[in-house]
């Protein structure tokens, strides 16, 4: 592949990746989960101590 083809392929890959990022996550069917306070406290102790 010559230099122009490589640059063109790179720009095309960036455009496709940008479109995927711009689409965002599919949040249509999310379910609310309970807060795991035990894990939060354990994490706070781990980070603080």
Q: What are phi and psi of 18, to 5 degrees?
A: -65, -40
Instruction: Quick: pLDDT tens for 35-44.
Output: 999 999 999 9
Neighbours of 38 (CB within 10 A): 8
pTM: 0.40
Instruction: Quick: pLDDT tens for 4-43.
Output: 888 888 888 877 777 666 666 666 777 778 899 999 999 9
* CA–CA separation, 5 and 11 (whole Å): 10
């Amino acid at each position: 592949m010559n230099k122009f083809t490589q640059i063109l392929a790179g720009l095309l890959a960036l455009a496709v990746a940008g479109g995927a990022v711009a689409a965002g996550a599919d949040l249509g069917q999310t379910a609310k989960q309970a807060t795991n306070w035990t894990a939060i406290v354990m994490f706070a102790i781990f980070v603080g101590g």
